[in-house]
C-alpha cells in the first residue's frame, strides 16, 4: 500500500479534450446553420428574380375609346 | 424557408440531451482510472466519435456503389453528408487521442500504425472535398466522388484493424489485448456503462447531423437549379 504510486493529476488534459470536442461540434452545427440560412436567402432572391415581370396596364386613349 | 420535419426537431433535442448525459457519465459517473488519472475520461468520447466516423465512411462507400449503379444524384447527396459528418467526428477522435497520448505516452504524436492510418484516413477525406470542389459538372462530380469514396472506404477497416494486425503501442480495450500497448486498462462496470452509452449517444448524434446535412444538400441543389433557370 505504501509503495503504490499516486494517481497523477491529468485533469488539465481531460478538460482540454472535452473543450475541444464541444468546440468542434459547436462549430460544425453553426456552419450547418449558417450555410442553411445563406442558401435560404439565395433561394428567396432567385425565386423573386424568376417571377415573371407584371404586365403593363393598358392606357386608355381617346382613339381607343372611339373604336 | 423549407418546412422542418417535427421528427428532426425532436431528434435535435434528443441528441443534445444524450450528449449531456454522456458527458455526465464520462466526467462524473465513471471512476477515475488509477494509473492515468482523469485524462482516461477522454476515452469515452474518443471511442464514440471514432466508431461513428468509421461507420460513416463505410456507409459512404455503400452510397457510392448505389450511386454508380443507379446514377441517381440522391445517393451522391447522402454520400457527401456521411463523409462530412464523419470527417468532423474523426477530427475529434484524432485530437482527443493526441491529448490522451501526451501524459500516457509522453508525446503528442508518434508514427504508430494506428495513428498513421487514422491520419491518412482523415487526409483522404479532406482530399475528397478538394476533388469535388474542382469539378463543376454535377454528374461528373458525383461519378468521380463515388469512385474516390469507394476506394477511400477501404481506409476505415484498415484503421480499425491496424491495432489488431500490426505491432503497435495503441491499446486494444475492446475484444483483445496487445502486448506492446502502453496505456491499456481494464474497464469496471461503471466504465462500461459510460462507454456503451457514449457509443449509443454518438450514433444518435451522427444520425441527427447526417439528416441535417442531407437537407442542406437538397437545398443546395435547389439553389443551383434556380441559378441555372434565372441565368438562361
Taking all residues of chain A, what is their mean pLDDT, rounded to a whole number? 83
Residue B203 pLDDT more than 70?
yes
Interchain CB distance below 8 Å, A43 and B41: no
Taking all residues of chain B, what is their mean pLDDT, rounded to a whole number? 92
Which among A11, A25, A40 is the nearest to B38, CB-wise? A11
A chain contacts of residue B103, beta-carbon cutoff 8 Å: 8, 10, 13
Interchain CB distance below 8 Å, B42 and A17: yes
Interchain CB distance below 8 Å, A13 and B95: no
φ, ψ for residue A7 (rounded to 5)? -70, 125
Quote the pLDDT of residue B173.
72
d(CA B53, CA B206): 8
Residue B136 pLDDT more than 60?
yes
Count Cβ atoms within 10 A of the Cβ of residue B109 and give its class: 0-12 exposed, 13-18 middle, 19 or more buried.
middle
Percent of chain B with pLDDT over 70: 94
Give the pLDDT band (50/70/90) at residue A61. Answer: low
Mean pLDDT of B190-216: 96
A chain contacts of residue B215, beta-carbon cutoff 8 Å: 36
Residue B107 pLDDT more than 90?
yes
pLDDT, one tens digit per residue, over B46-82 is 999 999 999 999 999 999 999 999 999 999 999 999 9
Residue A42 at interface with chain B, using a CB cutoff of 8 Å: yes
Percent of chain B with pLDDT over 90: 78
Higher-pLDDT residue of B182, B217? B217
Which among B1, B32, B96 is the nearest to A7, CB-wise? B32
Which residue is listed with cell 439553389?
B223
Residue A46 at interface with chain B, using a CB cutoff of 8 Å: yes
In contact, B184 and B177? CB cutoff 8 Å: yes
Mean pLDDT of A31-57: 87
Which among A13, A32, A43 is the nearest to B39, CB-wise? A13
Quote the pLDDT of residue B57.
96
A58 Cα to chain B: minimum distance (Å): 28
Quote the pLDDT of residue B169.
84
B chain contacts of residue A10, beta-carbon cutoff 8 Å: 36-40, 103
Interchain CB distance below 8 Å, B100 and A17: yes
Count Cβ atoms within 10 A of the Cβ of residue B220 and give its class: 0-12 exposed, 13-18 middle, 19 or more buried.
middle
Amino acid at each position: 500500500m505504501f509503495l503504490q504510486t499516486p494517481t497523477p493529476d491529468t485533469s488539465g488534459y481531460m478538460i482540454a479534450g472535452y473543450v475541444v470536442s464541444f468546440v468542434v461540434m459547436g462549430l460544425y452545427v453553426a456552419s450547418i446553420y449558417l450555410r442553411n440560412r445563406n442558401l435560404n436567402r439565395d433561394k428567396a432572391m432567385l425565386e423573386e428574380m424568376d417571377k415573371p415581370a407584371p404586365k403593363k396596364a393598358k392606357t386608355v386613349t381617346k382613339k381607343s375609346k372611339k373604336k | 424557408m423549407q418546412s422542418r420535419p417535427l421528427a428532426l426537431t425532436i431528434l435535435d433535442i434528443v441528441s443534445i440531451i444524450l450528449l449531456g448525459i454522456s458527458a455526465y457519465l464520462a466526467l462524473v459517473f465513471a471512476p477515475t482510472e488509477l494509473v492515468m488519472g482523469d485524462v482516461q475520461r477522454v476515452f469515452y468520447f474518443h471511442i464514440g466519435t471514432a466508431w461513428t466516423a468509421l461507420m460513416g465512411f463505410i456507409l459512404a462507400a455503400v452510397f457510392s456503389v448505389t450511386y454508380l449503379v443507379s446514377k441517381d444524384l440522391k445517393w451522391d447527396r447522402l454520400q457527401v453528408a456521411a463523409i462530412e459528418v464523419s470527417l468532423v467526428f474523426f477530427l475529434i477522435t484524432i485530437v482527443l487521442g493526441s491529448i490522451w497520448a501526451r501524459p500516457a505516452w509522453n508525446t503528442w504524436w508518434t508514427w504508430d500504425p494506428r495513428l498513421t492510418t487514422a491520419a491518412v484516413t482523415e487526409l483522404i477525406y479532406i482530399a475528397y472535398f478538394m476533388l469535388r470542389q474542382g469539378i463543376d459538372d454535377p454528374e461528373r462530380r458525383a461519378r468521380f466522388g463515388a469512385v474516390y469514396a469507394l476506394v477511400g472506404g477501404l481506409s476505415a477497416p484498415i484503421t480499425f484493424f491496424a491495432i489488431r494486425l500490426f505491432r503497435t503501442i495503441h491499446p486494444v480495450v475492446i475484444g483483445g489485448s496487445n502486448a506492446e500497448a502502453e496505456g491499456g486498462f481494464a474497464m469496471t462496470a461503471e466504465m462500461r456503462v459510460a462507454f456503451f452509452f457514449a457509443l449509443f449517444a454518438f450514433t444518435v448524434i451522427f444520425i441527427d447531423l447526417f439528416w441535417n446535412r442531407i437537407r442542406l444538400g437538397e437545398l443546395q441543389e435547389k439553389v443551383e437549379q434556380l441559378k441555372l433557370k434565372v441565368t438562361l
